[in-house]
Structure 1
């Protein structure tokens, strides 16, 4: 599959309101519920890019920077940052808005990996991703290093084989 898609074509914006059933005893959105929201928005972005059914392969680098309060409106922006053979990295950024006070802040960020599969559940090739903006190019360039780190941590790659990641630590002069 040689077809290329622009990064903006995969962007997803999902909005949810934090209700009492979503919160812990401090009336903050539970972390697992936040990860659920991120997984859904990111899966939709991966499906839009690949035009295929996708499965979650990993969720890493999830940050919980600020609590999200009961009644806040949560917005998740997710988009594919890079496509490999059958897998895609998706970046998700979460913001919380307190509508009565007029405040909005970024609260969470995450990188997720999805694999496109055929009707039998076997991995299938996905289109190449074309970054356009400076931010998309920055995320695209870092995706290979993040992928190599994931593979090393999963025991699927030897550290010596992670050339992109190793180049950050080894002086090549």
Structure 2
């Protein structure tokens, strides 16, 4: 299986924050943002693996600022690392106020997606090739995140 450049999985979506998407403070529900993140991570992972995927974990979600009614959200996702059947996907969400032009980083997240065959069982995925300095940094730091995930799963609850 031939490795694929990280940029091939790059996916961008734009969403308008509408009143039904918001709480009593006119800021978007965190759950709505999570749904957007899960969707774009899945698309990015499917572009890389060229098969269906399922979400194995949402490793971290950092809500850094809020988006409000009328703001535009820009979501960007990339597969940053792969295992045998799994893919780590980084998702960044920025908001922009179209009236003022102000942009803010609103959310960052790492998810793990697993490629699934037609029989419903995990299948092998191609390795990812980082090219830019930013891609290389995400790729080089992925093993530490993977170890953190493993420790989190092993911790008794």
Q: What's the CA shift string for 1:104-163, capped at 9, x where partnerless?
A: 11111000000000012100000010000111011001111101111111129xxxxxxx
Q: What's the CA shift string for 1:7-43, capped at 9, x where partnerless?
A: 0000000111011110011110000100000111111
The equivalent residue for 1:24 is 23
Which structure would you say has the larger RCO, counting Cα contacts within 8 Å and 6 or more residues apart?
2
Structure 2 length as normaliser, TM-score? Answer: 0.96
The equivalent residue for 1:39 is 38
User: Would you say how many aligned residue pairs link Structure 1 and Structure 2?
Assistant: 155
Report whether the alignment pairs 1:61 with 2:60.
Answer: yes
Give the drift of 1:99. Answer: 0.6
Unmatched segments (≥5 aa) in structure 2: none
**What RMSD, in angstroms, separates the aligned Cα atoms of the two structures?**
1.0
Unmatched segments (≥5 aa) in structure 1: 157-173
CA distance in 2 between counterparts of 1:90 and 1:72 reads 25
Moved over 4 A (4+): none
CA distance in 2 between counterparts of 1:116 and 1:46 reads 8
Structure 1 length as normaliser, TM-score? Answer: 0.87
